[in-house]
Amino acid sequence: MPTYHLHDLTVRHRGASSGAPSGVPLPALRGLSLTIEQGEQLALIGPSGAGKTTLLATLACAQQPLEGTFTMFDQDPWALGNAARHRLRARLFLAPQTPPLPPRQRVVTAVLAAHLPQWSIWRALASLFKPADPQAAWQALARFNLGDKLYSRVDRLSGGERQRCGLARLLLSPAQALLVDEPLSALDPVLSELTLSTLREEAAARNATLVCSLHQVDLALAHFPRIVALRAGRIVFDLPREQVTPQMIAQLYQGEPARPAPPAAPEPETLPVKPGAGACL
Ligand X SMILES: Nc1ncnc2c1ncn2[C@@H]1O[C@H](COP(=O)(O)OP(=O)(O)OP(=O)(O)O)[C@@H](O)[C@H]1O
Is 52 near ligand X (CB under 6 A)? Answer: yes
Is 49 near ligand X (CB under 6 A)? Answer: yes
Segment near ligand X (CB under 6 A); pick from 44-52, 73-81, 189-197, 246-254: 44-52
Task: Give the DSSP letter string of 226-269.
Answer: EEEEEETTEEEEEEEGGG--HHHHHHHHHSS-S-----------
How many residues contact ligand X, by CB under 6 A?
A: 13
Segment near ligand X (CB under 6 A); pick from 8-16, 112-120, 133-141, 199-207: 8-16
Instruction: Please pick, from the candidates 3, 18, 54, 176, the single residue that binds ligand X as defined by CB under 6 A.
Output: 54
Q: Which amino acid is at 143?
A: R
C-alpha pair distances (Å), 137 with each of 65, 78, 121, 211: 35, 33, 19, 23
Instruction: Please pick, from the candidates 10, 31, 38, 53, the single residue that binds ligand X as defined by CB under 6 A.
Output: 53
Q: Under 8 Å CB-to-CB from 143, ≥6 apart: which residues? A: 168, 171, 198, 202
Residues 202-261 that bind ligand X (CB under 6 A): 259
Fill in the DSSP letter of residue 46. -
- Give the residue with the Cβ less far from ligand X, 57 or 150: 57
Contact 183, 199 (CB under 8 A): yes
Helix (H, G, I), strand (E, B), or coil: what is residue 43? Answer: strand
Q: 189: phi > 0 → left, psi -120 to 50 → alpha, else beta; which?
A: alpha
- Give the residue with the Cβ less far from ligand X, 28 or 171: 28
Is 58 near ligand X (CB under 6 A)? Answer: no
Is 68 near ligand X (CB under 6 A)? Answer: no
Q: Which amino acid is at 86?
A: H
From 57, 76, 1, select the one nearest 181 (Cα to Cα).
Answer: 57
Fill in the DSSP letter of residue 182. -
Instruction: Please pick, from the candidates 22, 48, 82, 120, the single residue that binds ligand X as defined by CB under 6 A.
Output: 48
- Give the residue with the Cβ less far from ligand X, 11 or 203: 11
Segment near ligand X (CB under 6 A); pick from 45-53, 63-71, 86-94, 221-229: 45-53
CA of residue 71 relative to chain centroid, distance: 17
Instruction: Please pick, from the candidates 6, 9, 28, 199, the single residue that binds ligand X as defined by CB under 6 A.
Output: 28
- Residue 159 burial (CB count, 10 A): 11
Helix (H, G, I), strand (E, B), or coil: what is residue 179? Answer: strand
- Give the residue with the Cβ less far from ligand X, 97 or 105: 97
Residues 253-272 that bind ligand X (CB under 6 A): 259
- Give the residue with the Cβ less far from ligand X, 16 or 179: 16
Minimum CB–partner distance for residue 167 and ligand X (Å): 17
Is 13 near ligand X (CB under 6 A)? Answer: yes
Segment near ligand X (CB under 6 A); pick from 12-20, 71-79, 143-151, 200-208: 12-20
Distance in angstroms (rounded) separating the CA atoms of residues 280 and 95? 5
Minimum CB–partner distance for residue 9 and ligand X (Å): 13
Helix (H, G, I), strand (E, B), or coil: what is residue 233? Answer: coil
Contact 30, 234 (CB under 8 A): yes
Residues contributing to the site for ligand X (CB under 6 A): 13, 15-16, 28, 46, 48-54, 259
